[in-house]
Chain A
């Protein structure tokens, strides 16, 4: 089972071209500096993503893998899903329907949460995270809290 390490959920901005991708990468860099980072990118707001945005995702994934952690994607918008599929990068990530599922997946295997061609894309994500700051929020999986 998983430890009590936190899972960071980060919402990806609406546009992910070269400039925004660089800016976003600078923002999330500290989260990847820790040992075995557990990161979830919420892509529900993404409306435009280009090669630089995809490259940024790959770099983040590489960075997480290098530190024995993982980067997972959640609530992938239809626009982002199309570009991920177009660039053949969809198969490189674990993709979940909601950020909650993605967070839970760090502590247990969720057969029902594993997407099959992005079910539910286009529907509102069921994830009820802290909307006030709209940015990264630390989550601890429920099971982890109980174990702790």
Chain B
């Protein structure tokens, strides 16, 4: 039987949900791979290889889901009301191409459906459209539509998957579901992947029980990784950093010296500054979503959290910084000035976070009065 799939990324019911920093959660990496890619893999596992992806976000964000675009896949972008028209168009293309059934999946919720069982249910029930809902009857925005029923499909898309032309049976799914409405759900998905509750194995090499590293991930020998944790491809964990309690560091990410990441996810291409405490949070796109306080905080200060640029831009920046450093060193040598002394241990411990030391905002007197001492809770120091 020829079954195709239309994957919709966008079309959230409530504004601001199902996305992080304006990027739909479906396009973000979880344990090394985008959710979209994992869904496509699952569809392929059940023999559904042809898929069309309709997204609501601009083309610049598409590289986030690298690897999801496969040969023969249709990828289209549409915004606003055009989004649902594009979905209808993708359905019609499959119907005209001779497909018998079309599966419509909106990401949305992540559900580990048995697609074979779903298709069989649809055929047995003899419905035009079958809707998938969870055990409590909450729809998952996943449908099976007979390709010949174009009017039903058009009606469904024009009502943004909320109404059906003809009532039909619900397929109740009792397996793993994560609605992925907010950062908390996103974090829970990663933890479920670690625990094996969800079928989301971390993409990387397990260097010791519960610790996975992606390709070309660099871990400083003084950094400490406590299971379970994951460091994505091309990421860099610097000296004295600590990753603990189910922390996830996605690809092309940098965790600077002495930073503690506890029960948190660092999204792709994010740099976390030195000497920080990132706890119970999702960090990325210059924002922090603190899960314990249920608050989203925008961080403008690039010394705390910043987004890493692409490799060529980084290379140019590094070259410029190096040239500046040489010039400064030469000027200091010529003027006979001494370089800044290395701070002593007691003085260094009194500084709360290295990221706080702004260049234009230096203190006149480094040490606070009295015997004030701040001590790290974790790490080797």
Contact = CB atoms under 8 A, between A and B. Distances in A.
A82 B355 CA distance: 15
A140 B275 CA distance: 39
Interface stretch (B52-60, B87-95, B242-250, B356-364): B356-364
Contact of A88 (B297, B353, B368): B353
A65 B361 contact: no
Interface stretch (A1-9, A36-44, A45-53): A45-53
A39 to B, nearest CB: 15
B114 interface: no
Contact of A65 (B300, B304, B355, B368): B368
A52 B358 contact: yes
B353 A50 contact: no
A76 to B, nearest CB: 10
A18 interface: yes
B358 A55 contact: yes
Given A61-B368, A89-B352, A92-B374, A83 B297 contact: yes
A6 to B, nearest CB: 22
A71 B370 CA distance: 14
Chain B: number of interface residues, binned into ranges? 20 to 34
B276 interface: yes
A54 interface: yes
A87 B357 CA distance: 11
B290 A55 contact: no
B303 A51 contact: yes
B297 A85 contact: no
A61 B374 CA distance: 14
A92 B361 CA distance: 20
Interface in A83-116: 83, 85-89, 91-92
B299 interface: yes
B359 to A, nearest CB: 11
B293 A18 contact: no
A58 B355 CA distance: 14
Interface of B: 275-279, 281, 288, 290, 292-295, 297-301, 303-304, 352-353, 355-358, 360-361, 363, 365, 368-370, 372, 374
Given A51-B304, A82-B295, A118-B293, 9 more contacts: A18-B358, A54-B352, A58-B356, A82-B288, A86-B288, A87-B352, A88-B353, A89-B352, A92-B372
